[in-house]
Amino acid sequence: MTRRIAIYGGSFDPFHLGHLVPVVRAQETFHFESVYFVPAGSPPHRDAAPLTPVTHRLAMVAMATLPYENFFTSDDEVFAPQPTFSVETVRRFRERMPDGTLYFILGSDSFSQIAGWEKWEELVDSVHLVVLHRAHMWDTELEERVPKRLIPTRFRAGCAGFRGGLLDRLGHTGRIG
């Protein structure tokens, strides 16, 4: 059986329960062997507002996830000299874990902007996407912003898993987030 590895990146400024609780629910639903939280050193999609120092954000994530046996904090992007992109992070995880099945966790607010991401098509073709419900971005509004190939035949309440535009059949029935 292949290992189910989830990657959840973000600026995490600050890291809070709105980041943690939906991922706990996703872990319960999708049964990930490991979830890696990846704080962004220089997020390419953030405005020019100053961020909390990356080492502090890394420490916040590490402390918040410590009680969870399968949650890990990754410094993959923390010390990069330039902005890093999700597709690059996924490539690094793929190199380290070639036998794993990779899942990329993101909020529906981020998913709504995916067409503007660096090499987004390569990203969605290389992982399973797990989209977490955000109340301000769901249903029709989300469908209008996402590339048509990524819209499943139906959204499930709360969380949807995608791969290359197809809904994963992983038995999810509840609301996440």
pLDDT of 60 strictly over 80: yes
pLDDT at residue 172 tops 50: no
Q: For 100-136, how does the pLDDT look when each residue is reduced to its tens digit (9 = 90+)? A: 999 999 999 999 999 999 999 999 999 999 999 887 8
Can you give the pLDDT at residue 161?
A: 52
Please report the beta strands in 13-155, taking only residues with DSSP state E, as ranges in sequence order: 34-39, 71-73, 101-107, 128-132
CB under 8 Å to 145, separation ≥6 — which residues?
112, 113, 115, 137
Statement: the pTM of the whole predicted model exceeds 0.75: yes
* H/E element, 75: none
Band the pLDDT of 48: cuts 50, 70, 90: low
Q: Rounded to an integer, what distance in angstroms lies between the CA atom of residue 146 and that of residue 148? A: 6
Q: Which residue has better confidence, 137 or 117? A: 117
Q: Range of 49's domain?
A: 4-167
What pLDDT, on a 0 to 100 scale, did the predictor assign at position 2? Answer: 86
CATH number of the CATH domain containing 81: 3.40.50.620
**Domain-embedded: residue 176:** no
Q: How far apart are CA 5 and CA 130, in angstroms?
A: 12
- For residue 174, is it within any domain? no
> Does residue 96 form part of some domain?
yes
* pLDDT: which is higher, 129 or 142: 129
The pLDDT > 70 percentage for the chain reads 83
pLDDT tens digit sequence for 73-98? 999 999 888 889 999 999 999 999 99
167 phi, psi to nearest 5 deg:
-70, 130
Mean pLDDT along residues 54-67: 96
- Return the beta strands (E) in the chain as ranges: 4-10, 34-39, 71-73, 101-107, 128-132, 159-163, 166-167
Q: Mind giving me the DSSP string for 107-130?
A: EHHHHTTGGGSTTHHHHHHHSEEE
Number of structural domains, the chain?
1
